[in-house]
Every structure is written in structure tokens, then in C-alpha cells.
Structure 1
Amino acid sequence: MTIVLALAASVTWGASDFIAGILSGRLPARTVVICSQAVALVAISGVVLVVGLPLPPGPWWLWGAVGGVAEGAGLLALYSGLARGRMGIVTPIAGLGVLVPVVVGLVRGDPVTVLLGAGILLAIVGGVLASGPEVEGGGEGGDATSILYAVLAALGLGTAMACVDLGSRVSGLHTLWAMRVASVGVFLLLALVLTTRWRIPRGLAPGLVVVGIADLSATALFSMATTRGHLSIAGVLASLYPVTTILLAWLLLRERLRPVQVVGVAAALAGIALIAS
């Protein structure tokens, strides 16, 4: 069940990123993030009011707050890095954030066999290659600051995944709620500083709702995956969302897959097969 839930989270995150990428061509990226996160906060708050009261005891609020701030900082760093450097350099580095939940899971005692270790390694490498790394060398790859932003994005997003696991051991629902409260708070402060444009064309509003609900659903699926199995496995499989994004771009936008991306997809699938075995 852990594998199914984690892969479902990966597909949902990938679809969310695909739609968000299209919307970001019409709106500032930070507007897409703030509005979609706000939609998710409204949705999860409604669920908490219906089935999540009274609030349970425990440190779920702490892990949720840390995870929400880490996620907000990670997304900010990712978009800042993409603004300064090339996607083929920034995105694969940011994707290595999967190492954070893997390390946390292994330190906590997740068992690893040779077959499972090989599957995890293949899946991580496949996810990075599917992101389209620029391995040819040469050209303008962006300055050192863009690489620093990518590293910070990896740490932020990876830390958020680990916090989801830790908080979900007390209450997954309330951890998700605390994360959205914290992330929306961070992004609203960012919006005030950057004077974010709030005029949203009516035709784009449904897309923002879909992105927000999809991101929330993916996080919920990941939360359930970590409570039913090992964090190291769930983290690796859920982090394969770039595979979904690039496949949707190939199917719907007719974007050409680079050879390194085809290799990455194949490696990711092989890794999933080894983990499942």
C-alpha cells in the first residue's frame, strides 16, 4: 500500500506542477503559488472544522509549522534559482531534496536490502535525469547564486517531506493544516514585500483551484504512505513527480523528450520495479 500511495502522490504532484507551469506563463509564479496555497488552506480548514475538532495533543503543530515554512522557503528558492539559471541545471539539483527523507528514514532504522538499495538508487538517478540535466557542458549555465538557490530548494522541500512524516505520526490531517497555515503566512508576507499582482483573469481561476487541491491531495497521499511504510521508500517514490510532468508535457504539449530524459524515465521505472519486488 505504501508504494501505491507514494506513486499516487508522485503522479498528483507531477500533474499539479504541469498545470502550475502553464499558469506561470500567464501569471507571476509567486501569484500562482500564493493563490493555490490559499485554496488548499481553505479546503483543509473545512475538513478540520468538520472532522478534526477538537485538536489532538502532540507536536503535530510544530512539525506542520516547520514543514510549511520549509516548503515555502524551498519553493521561493526554486523559483528564484529558475529565474537566474537554466532549468536543466537548477531543477535536477533541487530534485536531490529526496535525499533528506531518505537519510532521515535510514537513520531512524528503515531496513535496506541490496535489491531495495539498488531500486532506491535507480529511482533517484532516474528522477534527476528525467528533470533534463544539461550534461553536455559549456554555455551559460547561470551563476553560482542559482546553484545555491537550487541547493536551498532541495533542503527546503526535502525537509518538508520529512516533517510531513514526523507530524503524521500524531495526526496527518492536522499536520497538513498547520503546514498550509504556515506556508500561506510566509507567502502572504512575501506578497506584501514584492507587491504581488493580484488581478487574476477569470479563465485562470479554475486552474489555480485545481493546482491547490492537487498539491494538498498529493501531500495527504504522501502522509498516508509514510504512516503505512518506511519514509525512505515513500520519499523516493513520491519524489518521482518530474516523470509525470515531463510525460504530460510530451503527451499534451508535444514537447520533445531529450535522450537523457528517456533514460531517466526508464531508470525510474526500473527502480520502482525493484522496490516493489
Structure 2
Amino acid sequence: MEAAWLSLGFGLLSALTWGAGDFGGGMASRSARTQTVVLWTSLLGGLLFLALALLGPEPFRPHDLPFALLGGALGALGLYSLYRALSQGSMSLAAPVAGVVGAALPVALGLLWEGWPGPLPALGLGVGLVGVWLASRPEGHASPVGLPWALLAGLGFGGFYVLMDRVEGLLWPAALGKLTAFALVLLLSPPHKGLPRGAVPWVLLAALGDAGGNLFFLLAAQAGRLDMAALASSFYPATTVLLAWLLLGERLGPGRKLGMLTCLLALGFIALG
């Protein structure tokens, strides 16, 4: 029970920090090239984790390397695609779509690998996926532009969840994953110009939020089951949607409110189980 509570708590912290970081990345991508935003976000996060890994007592585990490298590459795909989606269309549509697609793969594999979690946690998983789906339904004049990018982001994040669940370390895999993302973006799409001055604060928010989300997800996955950790972490769209509603005035209609309440109900089922 204690491990389940730890996993749930770290997963929710991941959702809070990832959601805030995604909001910052989406805002930065409205005035800067998406590649540049992902490049700086990955570099700053990678350097932060590298410094912590070098200063801390955590040993380097070579068997973590392939999972961290491939996970970092898929994370970069997810982050790039999400920022494109957030910059092109409605944040309150793109973020939840990426969330539900990203949660579906690790939930399915978690059930396959780790077995039936019990009636209440299983009900929580199902209700949680429905809640994220409800939050992703278009409302009013929410623009569907960017929806393909949101779907691709979800696939990238789902692969990231699954691969990073296989590592044993914490800081070293996080550092390697973010530096791999930086190298991949730099190799495939080197930036032609720097960041506009107005985008710098948003990039800093994106980097800190993305780094925090990665760290808390790893802690959640190592504390408990992959499906539970991934589902709780996938509630990050709620943070993005709330920030878009508070700061940008984007509409938060009945469907999204119901989706958020459903997600809270799912957490209750998981916690009681």
C-alpha cells in the first residue's frame, strides 16, 4: 500500500510539473521555432541532471544505457510534436489528446506484464482513461489544427514511459535521455537563429517543468506499477488546460470540467485499492 501511495504521489507531482512545462513550451513556440525550444529545453534539463548525477552518489549502470537513449529519442519526438500542437491550435485540446494516447500504451503493457491490479485500481485505470478522453473532446471553437501532432506526441510519450520504466537508476538515465534528445534535435534540425527575448522565460519554465516531470515519473515508476505511474503522470493536461484558462482565457467548458472530475474519481479508486 505504501508503494502504491508513493507511486501515485510522484505521478501527480510529475503531472503538475510536466503540465506547467508544456504550457511554457507551447507559449515559447508561438514566437520561436519549435526545434529551438525543444533544443534548449532538452539541453538545460540534461545539464541539470548531469550536474546532479556527477555530484551525487548514484552509480552509473551501463545496462540502463539503451533504455535511456531510446527513451530520450522518443521523448524528444513527443516533446517536439506536443509543442507544435500547442503552438498551432488550442492548448486545451492538444494537451489532453496527447495525454490519453500517451497513457493507453503503458496502461495496456502494465496490465500485460504485471497482471491484474485488483478491482478498484483496475476500475481507476479505466475511469482515468475515460476522464482524459472527456477532457480531450473539442468544445466550442477549439481549433482542431495541430491534432495530428498531438496524436504523435502521445505515441512518443507512451514509448518514453515504457522504456524509462525499465531503468534502475534515476539521475543518470534522466541526464542521458535529455542529452540524447538535445543531440537528436541538433543533428536533424539545427537552429538557424537564437531565441527571441520574449521566449526566454517560457523556455526556462519549459525546461524546469520538463525536467521535474521526468524525475517524478521515474520515481513513480520505480515506486510502483508502470500502468499506475503512467496514468497519474498523464493527468498533466489538466495543469496545461488550467493555465491556458487562467492566463489565456481559453474556454473550459462542461466536458473538460467533467473530464477533470472523472480523473479525480479515478485517483480515488486507485488510492483506495
Q: Which moved more, 1:25-34 or 1:158-167?
A: 25-34
- Tell me, in whole angstroms, the C-alpha distance in 1 between the residues paired with 2:253 and 2:29: 23
Q: In structure 1, what is the equivalent of residue 193 of structure 2?
A: 197
1:27-176 equivalence runs, <5 A: 27-51=32-56, 55-57=60-62, 59-79=63-83, 91-95=95-99, 96-131=101-136, 133-134=137-138, 141=144, 149-167=149-167, 170-176=168-174
| 8 Å CA contact 2:75, 2:156 repeated in 1 | yes
| 8 Å CA contact 2:91, 2:241 repeated in 1 | no
Q: Which moved more, 1:119-128 or 1:23-32?
A: 23-32
One-letter identity of the residue aligned with 2:69 = A
**TM-score (normalised: structure 2):** 0.86
- Tell me, in whole angstroms, the C-alpha distance in 1 between the residues paired with 2:214 and 2:71: 11
Q: In structure 1, what is the equivalent of residue 215 of structure 2?
A: 220
Task: Give the fraction of aligned pairs with identical amino acids, expressed as a percent.
Answer: 29
What's the CA shift string for 1:63-87, capped at 9, x where partnerless? 0001011111223344556678776
One-letter identity of the residue aligned with 2:241 = I
Deviation at residue 151 of structure 1 after TM alignment: 3.9
What's the CA shift string for 1:104-163, capped at 9, x where partnerless? 2112114322221221111122123223x22789x9956xxx765544332211010111
Q: Aligned-pair RMSD on alpha carbons?
A: 2.7
Unaligned runs of 5+ in 2: 1-5
User: Structure 1 residues 53 and 251 mapped into 2: Cα distance closer, same or farther (>3 Å)?
Assistant: closer
- Tell me, in whole angstroms, the C-alpha distance in 2 between the residues paired with 1:32 and 1:180: 13
| 8 Å CA contact 1:64, 1:179 repeated in 2 | yes
| 8 Å CA contact 2:121, 2:269 repeated in 1 | yes
**TM-score (normalised: structure 1):** 0.85
Unaligned runs of 5+ in 1: none
| 8 Å CA contact 1:93, 1:150 repeated in 2 | yes
Q: In structure 1, what is the equivalent of residue 238 of structure 2?
A: 243
| 8 Å CA contact 1:68, 1:160 repeated in 2 | yes
How many corresponding residue pairs?
A: 266
Deviation at residue 39 of structure 1 after TM alignment: 0.7
- Tell me, in whole angstroms, the C-alpha distance in 2 between the residues paired with 1:204 and 1:136: 29
